[in-house]
Structure 1
């Protein structure tokens, strides 16, 4: 029977080599799935405890003053570790620190088998939200009373360990057998445990009936039965709406805080009318309308009544998750007839079992991250019915491995293949074809429009939420991107004559193909592509660097974007570029010819499943090589005037780290031809689609016919006049280009004053990261250390949602954000009472796509500022403004530091595009007095 001693240490810092010491030890012994012993002791470190450690742990100098020295408790520690597995959360830290102290005290460290609960949790609970101790304890419902105290952390870790070992016991023999082969490269010494489990499973009769065994891999069974499509008989749509949205209706029984909203009902009726009249509709639904339910309810009614399918496309995964995890389940519980919904993502999101089986048995030597990823996927396959990468958190290099095993890497899958019925992607497609509502994203929608894969064409009605992003998403997908790293990655993936390489394995499977001269030719050809492509991208880097030096004032930091026109560049330079691109293209054609010959030879030689797999692989690689040739042709060889083309380099990056892009200057006509004209009905909705109450800008950009499109603005139910005040200082220094410092300093002083009044609870939105960074530095100087918690995007670590959670966790916090923080960040209630917009959010005028669109507008005799720059800035401003008031009870201040909103002629476009509120244009001192009275 195994014994586990779970250890957690609190220390004065992270590095024992630099003199950091242990201040507390916690040890929990586990035997037979139960805690049998607990031990804790403070340790006198004979040095002061740093203040941040005291803040984190609550352990003060006086707590350890009379505590034993480490030498005095060493016997207790060694006794407990004897004959036991040493277990810790991040075992390298705790064992390394303890061994350092033991060597000092007794001359030797511990030599025991170890287990790391971070690693084991990744493997045995691959679907956890995260692997920090706090995240795991929440996920596994283990009460964590005193975080960052040694015994409490050790006890929580012991409970996690018990659950992990229990989870391992539940795994089928086949999964355990595969894990045992990978275990040698784990950090945790699990071989004895796995062998013991395998030994027990050998004599077990009961197999799990929720699993299917296929070619040595255990897979969760999927329910593939087709559900009968219900038919619905109602009195009509409006009476149905009354049942849903009425004060005593179906929703009130499900939602505790249900509010009847006139705007919600009005929007739902508008959408239903658009469906009936087969029209396009553009609907701006201001914050608080309840727009998601307002489009879901008519979509469900229409789909069930007409026995049809409706596609809903969102820009962010956050909104997708909200639809699938919150809004749709709520309606399933409220509406008294059944309907089906499905999520559909791009092929790159789904695991290919066929490719995974191949990689699992591949003889290639794998690094730790790949071994960990394979282990995680093996366990995940016993749990997932979707095979969606977004359900698990792979380690960093795991993302590269995923590219090899995704459904996208699989290429075409023959319906006769035994893998076809088990394909996660095919399963998702089938579910989508049977569902009433299909949730997807703008990226997949645009990919399908362009490549005509037939997904979108089977949905005659589409709802596009977050529609203000649709033009940009379409532009990216109608364009192209090419870089050296992608070419090199593709060639490396195919490999050469090295054991474990794809090409080596192909030629080993068919020795008749592997004529020495052919293999040598393959090696020489692929090496030539790498060298020629490297030379091409280095040449472009040098050329663009010279352009950067000529424009250094415009682009002195980060990525430099150079818009090029092949017909206007130096003829000497561009003829060299064309010659190089032709050479790369020509050699790639040689590799394609060689691959096609291989495919034909295999087809003639045999018709086995193995032969079919090789031919599918070859087809996929040929297609990817052809796409590279097409990209080279469009980006560097053709003179397509309707495209904007640009090259990006990192000024101090690798000399071949060059990215070439193209996008159509105008996507409206393309969307009209390939999307809008092919649909019965398209509903575009967002909280920000108008400028000065007009949809004309957005209609023009998307290619919609004004006379044939229903246009509707749904006002917010919020009483903005009573809920928000807009402050604009009139005494800030002028902001001339290149002399920002005085303006930023004045902004920081105002932020600090307002934060003192609002007790933090402030979001500050910047238009550039550079300005955010400077302001962060100044704020640090202005504030006392513990006065406000300052959280800044790109400076404080963590994702957007993590930064938001940290902000909400502190009583007095200020959150600095740029780019993604202007929208989609919801901080309702008292957590946010003031919003600062530092500058009006105009796009940089030198971005290649903006520049090209502006030129095109100018050529039409129109004003690019009024037609493009201003509308984009107004819509962005409305997004930022919408961060503050998220419910009927919210109240707060918006301060705009940019007085162009009051002084410039175009300022009224901003103020007349937001709800009617009181605007105060005054000195900073007077504004602060007003803010204090208001709050």
Structure 2
């Protein structure tokens, strides 16, 4: 940005032009030497062995970094996949000041990378680098919700619940991490759900606890790290948000990045399918309703009783007519709507469970009934749709309408003197979030048993033969290749994909079709199907039981 005078004789430089950064490419030979018998790595690892397959994979990953390419490597167990991609990733990040994201399916591998492999690399490399395990928001305590829960506990909770909350409150004053894994005991799931951080109930920059927020603190650490270790679901959440905003250089779930490694790459399709699909469950829907209102041991609990109490205790300037109008809205409309939805959802999911068990023709515990056009035309299913599903959807939408009416009234409550936000700011966020969740349930129910089937989608009902509470309605895309090609491979400069099982008869055609690599630029792609480092004829025994 330049400012010049009228005569164009003088210039003031506001911002220098952004010139393309000169990248420092990786030298695969130098990296391979770090895995040699005389390397620091060899001295640090007991029983170290040189494995040619590991070096071959390291070279393929390095090539992808240097050429803005895509490396697809099938590497059997024992090759040393993790170090073969971590070494190039760490060196690239340090040399070029570029963040690298490593995505895995399982928490076991994430913890191995963070607590075992990365510390080993940090001891063996001359250049220091940092790494961070990125946890989902639900792993962190929300200080604001904890404060609300403590005050609600004094009004509604029993002594045992108050004791557990008080233990968490004492821990919250000492912990630097604020995540569930740092807590010395495992709290009740229902309790943690009430006090953990959630995106749709977060006040973000408006929150009074922003400076102490554990999620904000974690994000600062994430922003400074050279390597980020995430799970596939979190990665696809980030990609989806950036796709919606059209800006892949902005902060979403993750900060901006241009280099990505998929470990456990065989699960990319399943993870993407799961993320890009929608579902509703009996337990999830009833759990959300219980957050509005529930009775436990004869005591009223939930958001609606909390709002009633806070209207009395925290809103002294609220007029009596306004208070009575809000109370009437909750008692005469919202609470009855919650009760009606609870009964309707129980009946609808119960009927779907019975019909699935009778019609699917499957045995076993986990049963899935695919809802094809032929199945959807079944007269009994049409009756369930007409008599139960459609009314339930209407009841839920009436509930969300009542939530909207209450929200409009609550938003008129002015802040107390000296305060910048409504005394019911947290409750307003929660009410809006719960209403949106119930609207999502309604949308899934409305589609689940309708006769029309969207293109490139599949729908089914899941039940657990041993647990009548488990009933799920699911709709997923049949093929996720196109969005992966558009949102990942075309936006990310370097992509490396590895697993022990990627190829079929040493060919990657099936994988390429299923995860969209067939639609990527073939000139960017390098593949390798590596052999096992083990001699199974000499190192394995096949035992056959004969008795």
TM-score range, shorter chain: 0.7 to 0.9
Structure 1: gaps spanning 5 or more residues: 1-230, 730-748, 754-935
Structure 2: gaps spanning 5 or more residues: 1-20, 243-250, 313-321
Query: CA 1:406/1:299 → structure 2, altered by over 3 Å: closer, same or farther?
Result: same
Q: Give 3-state SS (helix, strand or coil) of 1:639's partner.
A: coil
Give distance in 2, aligned partners of 1:462 and 1:652.
Answer: 41
Match of 2:525 in 1: 709
> Do 2:352 and 2:384's aligned partners in 1 also have CA atoms closer than 8 Å?
no
Match of 1:461 in 2: 259
Match of 1:757 in 2: none
Q: Structure 1 stretch 288-297 or stretch 704-713: which is displaced more?
A: 704-713
TM-score normalised by structure 1 residue count:
0.49
Match of 2:446 in 1: 633
Cα deviation, residue 410, structure 1? 6.7
Cα deviation, residue 678, structure 1? 2.0
> Do 1:645 and 1:662's aligned partners in 2 also have CA atoms closer than 8 Å?
yes
The alignment's C-alpha RMSD in Å is: 3.0
Say yes or no: does 1:307 pair with 2:97: yes
Say yes or no: does 1:380 pair with 2:171: yes
Give distance in 2, aligned partners of 1:236 and 1:463.
Answer: 16
> Do 1:588 and 1:629's aligned partners in 2 also have CA atoms closer than 8 Å?
no
Question: Alignment partner for residue 524 of structure 1, among 331, 336, 344?
Answer: 336
Match of 1:558 in 2: 365
Match of 1:614 in 2: 427
Give distance in 2, aligned partners of 1:234 and 1:545.
Answer: 61
1:721-740 pair list within 5 angstroms: 721-726=537-542
Match of 1:346 in 2: 136
Say yes or no: does 1:478 pair with 2:268: no
Query: CA 1:713/1:449 → structure 2, altered by over 3 Å: closer, same or farther?
Result: same
Give distance in 1, aligned partners of 2:160 and 2:515.
Answer: 44
Give distance in 2, aligned partners of 1:317 and 1:337.
Answer: 27
Give the number of equivalent residue pairs: 494
1:674-713 pair list within 5 angstroms: 674-705=487-518, 707=522, 708-713=524-529
> Do 2:35 and 2:50's aligned partners in 1 also have CA atoms closer than 8 Å?
yes
Say yes or no: does 1:420 pair with 2:210: yes
User: Which string of whole-angstrom CA distances, capped at 9 and with x for unpartnered residues, describes residues 628-650 of structure 1?
Assistant: 23322343446323221111234
Match of 1:642 in 2: 456
Question: Alignment partner for residue 597 of structure 1, among 404, 408, 416?
Answer: 408
Q: Give 3-state SS (helix, strand or coil) of 2:398's partner.
A: helix
Cα deviation, residue 439, structure 1? 0.5
Cα deviation, residue 702, structure 1? 0.9
> Do 1:280 and 1:682's aligned partners in 2 also have CA atoms closer than 8 Å?
yes
Cα deviation, residue 232, structure 1? 13
Q: Give 3-state SS (helix, strand or coil) of 1:283's partner.
A: strand
Larger radius of gyration: 1
Say yes or no: does 1:672 pair with 2:482: no
Structure 1 stretches of at least 4 aligned residues deviating more than 4 Å after TM superposition: 231-236, 496-500, 603-607
1:117-128 pair list within 5 angstroms: none
Give distance in 2, aligned partners of 1:335 and 1:650.
Answer: 50
Give distance in 1, aligned partners of 2:206 and 2:465.
Answer: 51
Cα deviation, residue 714, structure 1? 2.6
Give distance in 1, aligned partners of 2:54 and 2:399.
Answer: 56
Give distance in 2, aligned partners of 1:409 and 1:342.
Answer: 21
TM-score normalised by structure 2 residue count:
0.82
Give distance in 2, aligned partners of 1:523 and 1:335.
Answer: 62
Query: CA 1:279/1:673 → structure 2, altered by over 3 Å: closer, same or farther?
Result: same
Cα deviation, residue 457, structure 1? 6.8
> Do 1:247 and 1:260's aligned partners in 2 also have CA atoms closer than 8 Å?
yes
Give distance in 1, aligned partners of 2:386 and 2:428.
Answer: 38
Give distance in 1, aligned partners of 2:26 and 2:415.
Answer: 62
Give distance in 2, aligned partners of 1:292 and 1:500.
Answer: 48
User: Which string of whole-angstrom CA distances, capped at 9 and with x for unpartnered residues, describes residues 536-585 of structure 1?
Assistant: 2233233323314xx2xx31x32432211365332444433552343234
Query: CA 1:559/1:235 → structure 2, altered by over 3 Å: closer, same or farther?
Result: closer
1:771-786 pair list within 5 angstroms: none
Say yes or no: does 1:513 pair with 2:320: no
Q: Give 3-state SS (helix, strand or coil) of 1:628's partner.
A: helix
Cα deviation, residue 292, structure 1? 0.7
> Do 1:508 and 1:514's aligned partners in 2 also have CA atoms closer than 8 Å?
no
1:95-174 pair list within 5 angstroms: none
Match of 1:545 in 2: 357
Cα deviation, residue 686, structure 1? 0.8
Cα deviation, residue 535, structure 1? 2.5
Cα deviation, residue 684, structure 1? 0.7
Instruction: With a CA cutoff of 8 Å and minimum separation of 6, indicate the structure with the bigger relative contact order.
Output: 2
Cα deviation, residue 607, structure 1? 4.2
User: Which string of whole-angstrom CA distances, capped at 9 and with x for unpartnered residues, describes residues 580-617 of structure 1?
Assistant: 34323432332332343234323688843634333333
Cα deviation, residue 327, structure 1? 0.8
Question: Alignment partner for residue 181 of structure 2, among 382, 390, 400?
Answer: 390
> Do 2:329 and 2:406's aligned partners in 1 also have CA atoms closer than 8 Å?
no
User: Which string of whole-angstrom CA distances, capped at 9 and with x for unpartnered residues, describes residues 852-896 of structure 1?
Assistant: xxxxxxxxxxxxxxxxxxxxxxxxxxxxxxxxxxxxxxxxxxxxx
Q: Give 3-state SS (helix, strand or coil) of 1:336's partner.
A: coil
Q: Give 3-state SS (helix, strand or coil) of 1:342's partner.
A: strand
Query: CA 1:368/1:260 → structure 2, altered by over 3 Å: closer, same or farther?
Result: farther
Match of 1:399 in 2: 189
> Do 2:103 and 2:230's aligned partners in 1 also have CA atoms closer than 8 Å?
yes
Give distance in 2, aligned partners of 1:354 and 1:323.
Answer: 33
Give distance in 2, aligned partners of 1:301 and 1:642.
Answer: 41
Query: CA 1:358/1:299 → structure 2, altered by over 3 Å: closer, same or farther?
Result: same
Q: Give 3-state SS (helix, strand or coil) of 1:443's partner.
A: helix
Say yes or no: does 1:583 pair with 2:390: no
